[in-house]
Amino acid sequence: MGQLVSGATRDSGYESNPDYLIRLAPAGLKVEVRLNGHTVAKTEKALELFESNHAPVLYIPRSDVVAEYVQRTDHTSWCPYKGRASYYAVRTPEGEVEDAAWSYEDPFVQMADIQEMVAFYADKVEIVTESL
């Protein structure tokens, strides 16, 4: 059983596949997330997650996300390496995109650094990056 940050235990992919490649590192980028001309998030503290068979993903501190544009939806999913993902709609006065972002609010302890982070789908919002 794997341990979540909250102390709860769940079946974990780390047990059945301990060599699975998943790595988290500071992105070293200025990151801005936009929808319909509105800045939804902006940070210089993004983390980049590298995972087997997946494109790299930028995680942004929740404190750098503009709360008025982001609303939790009922959608969730399960990752055996990160835990349960909660999804968020991004809403601006011009329109909304359902399930455009996600967050692991109680990840496995191996991924504790993404607990207070939010990731956005690059095909649902505009993500602009620039070197620091």
State pTM to two decimals: 0.95
Average pLDDT, the chain: 96
The model's pLDDT over 17-55, given as tens digits with 9 standing for 90+, comes to: 988 999 999 999 999 999 999 999 999 999 999 999 899
pLDDT band at 14 (very low <50, low <70, confident <90, very high): confident
pLDDT of 18: 87
How many whole angstroms separate alpha carbon 104 and alpha carbon 24? Answer: 14
